[in-house]
A = this chain, B = another copy of it.
Amino acid sequence: MSRAPYHPTSDQIELPLLLDCLSDPIRLAIVYNLARLARPEGELRCGDFNAFSGKSNLAYHFARLREAGLVRTRIVGTSRYMSLRRTDLEARFPGLLDAIIASAERDAARLQMPECVVAADAG
Contact = CB atoms under 8 A, between A and B. Distances in A.
Given A102-B94, A103-B93, A24 B16 contact: yes
Interface SS majority for chain A: helix
Interface in A4-23: 14-17, 19-20, 22-23
Interface string A72-116: 000000000000000000000111101110111011000100000
B106 A99 contact: no
Interface of A: 14-17, 19-20, 22-25, 28, 93-96, 98-100, 102-104, 106-107, 111
Contacts of A103: 15, 93, 96
Nearest to A106: B93
Contacts of A104: 15
Nearest to A103: B93
A25 B96 CA distance: 17
A105 to B, nearest CB: 10
Contacts of A20: 19-20, 23
A28 B96 CA distance: 15
Contact of A15 (B93, B96, B107): B107
